[in-house]
Amino acid sequence: MKKSKEQIPLFDNIFIEQAEYIKDEEFIKWSANHPNEESIIKKLSYSGAKVITGPRGCGKTTLMLKVYNRLLSKKVKTAFPIYVNFKLSLKMEPLYHTKSNATYWFTQWVLLKIYVAFWESLKKLEVEAIDNLLSEADLNKIIRQIEIGDIDVIDTSKVLTVELLEMHIKDILEGLNKTHCVLLLDDAAHAFSTEQQKDFFDLFIQLKSRFISPKAAIYPGITVYSSSFHVGHDAEEIDVWLKPEDKGYSEFMSSLLQNRLSDENYKLLMGDEELLNILCFSCFGIPRALINMIQLIFSANENSEKFDKSNYNITNVKKAVKESFSRTENVFLSLKVKLPIYLNFIENGKIVFDNMVEGLKIYNKEKEVDKQAVVVAIKHPIPKELEKVFSFLQYAGLIM
């Protein structure tokens, strides 16, 4: 039986981790403002190619969706937004092992996904599509055919090109009296394989024009660029990972919980600020980790709208922190499967990380809190192999 809104358990709702799965009205209500939000959103809203970087769960998708919603609301009157999420891109991976022209079909697939998102933006703005734009049904049909490898039956008269996309976007811009399209490309560098990432960034450069301003979410360490794409030259990099020592850090984490939780549950957390601070700083600037830890602490009463006060104690907080760290560490160790070529880097990276933690423990032992350290100094020059290890650790959210 389908549950009514009132019957849906708390943990099926407020602890949804990923922003793209949250309903629009809840997304607006639950979102907290990043201390550097205005600067980041301004860069993502206006012309120019940008890549935003940070580990999983640090808020890249949230910021992209905020830009998308802001542009849809016409707060930036000169821009037309398109938001694309590439989560299901691994469906394309078999093509790279079976088809000599996999790059062509991958490019077609990306353009088709952009066109589907194009349609979605037109619907939300209540704008009629131009006559020669492929229908959503046609687009989704071809996407499915490519994803299952059934490319021989695809109607080649419906082949897409960057030039065609630019022409269609230009027509819409003229009709809406706007100057450029902000093309938000989310989850590309994480979801794509190495070959796909190279093809993606070749396409990214082609998409960049006077009328189209592409923005892509990338990850430290695992993003692979094509030989023709250079960060800094072809696109400005924006680091959105909030550092625990940054001004406004505690306020941001608290406001995230205040916006998402009921007043009663938020007051319960604020009733012991020391425990709350442990959680906020242990999440290491990753909002998703904070939400997960709160869920771990109160999961015993998952069918209730109200947190059990007895669960909120130092023992359960420590357990949640340890579990959260274990999950983060597993993200790092999982790279052995995702990137087997770097197996030795991951295994040695675990040793490097453990040694850094042990070194900090020894240094901090019996010192006053204000004399303890959280920073490890590394002698320069840093070998390229060690830099790669650090980038993988940053991807997981273990070091900054």
Task: Delineate the domains of the chain, giving CATH numbers in brackets.
Answer: 36-239 (3.40.50), 334-400 (no CATH)
Length of the chain, please?
400
In this structure, are strands 212-218 and 180-186 parallel, antiparallel, or unpaired?
Answer: parallel
Residue pair 214/185 in contact by the 8 Å Cβ criterion:
yes
CB atoms within 10 A of CB 75: 11
Tokens 């660029």 appear where? 225
Predicted local confidence at residue 83, as pLDDT? 96
Predicted local confidence at residue 304, as pLDDT? 61
Predicted local confidence at residue 27, as pLDDT? 53
Predicted local confidence at residue 1, as pLDDT? 35
Starting from the edge strand earliest in sequence, which strands make up the sheet with 180-186, in order?
79-85, 180-186, 212-218, 50-53, 236-239
Q: Residue 24, exposed/middle/buried by CB under 10 A (0-12, 13-18, 19+)? A: exposed
Q: CA 69 → CA 37, 81, 86, 156, 386, distances in Å?
A: 14, 9, 19, 35, 40
Structure tokens at 141: 């049909």
**Separation between Cα atoms, residue 261 and residue 15, nearest integer Å:** 10
* Terminal Cα-to-Cα distance of the chain (whole angstroms): 47
Q: CA 25 → CA 81, 305, 314, distances in Å?
A: 19, 19, 34
Q: Residue 253, exposed/middle/buried by CB under 10 A (0-12, 13-18, 19+)? A: buried
Predicted local confidence at residue 100, as pLDDT? 83
Report mean pLDDT in 10-residue bins for the chain, 400 residues.
39 50 55 83 92 89 90 84 81 77 91 94 87 83 88 83 94 92 85 82 94 92 86 91 89 89 90 94 92 86 73 95 95 89 94 96 92 92 92 91
